[in-house]
Amino acid sequence: MAEQIPTNIQEQLSIDYFDLFTKSGWVVSDQKYRKLLVDSFGRNGLFPFATNFPRTEKGRKDKETWRASFDKQTLALQNYMALRRFPNSGWVWSRGDGMMGFLNNIAMTRCGVSGSLDSWNPMDIVAVQSSMEQTIKDEIEKDVIDGVDKDINKDLLNGIMIKYIKGLALLPISLKKINDNERGAYEESDNLKSASAKKKHKLDLEYSAVQCDLEWSTHENEWQNAQEISFLMTQKSSVTRAGVVISVQARAFSGSDSREKPQHSLAQQGAGAMLGKAPVGELDDYVTSFGVKKVLSPKEHPQIPNKGGEWKQSQKNYWIALQKKLEGLEINGKKINFNNPGSYGVGGKLITSGFEAALNSACAADQMDLRTRKQQRKSGSRLTAKLWGIEWLWRYYQMSRKGTWEGFTNRMIKASKKELSDSGPFVKIVGEQGRTRGQRKLRMQQLINDNPNVKPIYDPKLKNKKGEIPLTKMIPKNIVGYESDDPEWNKLLADT
């Protein structure tokens, strides 16, 4: 039984929703909406709920969450298109083929984008005005040509896309599932934002201590509590935005290769959780720009033997010394949490304490090519990913010591979200947890201050004998309504 809808089907369902609602001017009759639900989730639909979800309370909730997610995505897109004044009709939608296939092909063949296309642009679907599709393709074919420097070509491609997005003829969209406790929201990639919007979306983060479990279980053949290096980045709720919690993990992903190349993975609290993996090269470039050596992969590191090779004592000594040095250091004012390093047996019973004991047990498991008891992944992958992470702890410390920790973490976020300077433009449809009533009032007050056309209506009961409301009473909690001659006001009101 499925709890998740396959990505390709999610994308097609979003297209079906968006196509129907845009063609209908966002006003869809009950009959058309029921047909959409049947075509999407009915017995012969694209993803039949009856055969893909169990007939349990959880199954019922999962179905409702998914159905509501597509509704919220549609509302978020409507708010975005209305605010930017995109036309409702005339759109041609694609995923993998059509305009999206054309853009991806140009990026790969002429702009040097290799590997995952997501590294350039995380768009899942693309909408284009039918009357402008050939015009856009012709301009790209003319300007982005073979034989030109690929970075220049990438800049040209991005620039043309930005021009037609702002010209209301092109819409590359990144999609995220929206959870029960979230509303649909949108966010433009940085290269589409105005200066004020960039300032509004700038994160003001607080950081947890970094977690690095060094308790090796000889029974499970892996680290006892957590396989990754991890920490949290938190932005508290404020007047202008909802709170954000981002989890960072440095880890291996498949575990099928004992010398797998790990990566930093970022996830944001909510249903559309994954922000993405930060490309290793981007973080390497950042730390080396400050005179810090890049972290070598497990296959390249001289202090990690080749697969099946014997661990030399000199190699072990390198890691023991590095971990000992890190024990007394702080990253952004907080010491690293290594738990209780040691080698542990059945039931989590301590055999021998200390990182050296844990390392000896882990190296022995790697040399014997053991697998983890539960997931049957290579124990060597668990070990070498952790050692790779310990190397990154030293880079974290260096970034903190040099006063560039926030710059480093922001680089990590932008890299994972594909929002670096050479990334392609896109609009993300995502979930956002709502603000409290008090925060909404403060947000409205800020909008009023920013827009002189908007006037607050204060509780008339506060009027004095002269029929006036004292200035001391003109505060957000006493606002009962708003009035404005600005035609965009109702849209702003709905979006707060």
Asked whether residue 64 is assigned to any structural domain, the reply reads yes
- Quick: pLDDT tens for 395-438: 999 999 999 998 899 888 888 877 666 788 999 998 876 555 55
Backbone angles phi, psi at 170, to 5 degrees: -140, 140
Question: Is 298 in the same domain as 388?
Answer: yes
Distances (CA, A) of 314 to 130, 297, 392: 65, 19, 20
Question: Is 449 in the same domain as 342?
Answer: no
Question: Is 148 in the same domain as 56?
Answer: yes
Backbone angles phi, psi at 209, to 5 degrees: -65, 150
Question: Is 313 in the same domain as 377?
Answer: yes
Most confident of 30-34, 261-265, 289-293, 351-355: 351-355
Asked if residues 126 and 97 have their Cβ atoms less than 8 Å apart, the reply is: no
Asked whether residue 201 is assigned to any structural domain, the reply reads no
Query: Does the reported pTM lie above 0.85?
Result: no
Section 175-183 average pLDDT: 86
Asked whether residue 346 is assigned to any structural domain, the reply reads yes
Asked whether residue 196 is assigned to any structural domain, the reply reads no
Instruction: Give me the number of domains the chain comprises.
Output: 3
Question: Is 364 in the same domain as 446?
Answer: no
Task: Quickly list DSSP for 426-466.
Answer: -EEEEEEEPPPHHHHHHHHHHHHHH-TTEEEEE-GGG--TT
At 476 the pLDDT is: 67
Distances (CA, A) of 29 to 21, 33, 39, 77: 10, 6, 15, 19
Domain coverage including residue 344: 206-416
Question: Is 407 in the same domain as 425?
Answer: no
Question: Looking at per-residue confidence, does 444 or 252 come out higher?
Answer: 252
Segment (H or E) for 40: helix 30-41
Mean pLDDT of all residues in the chain? 86
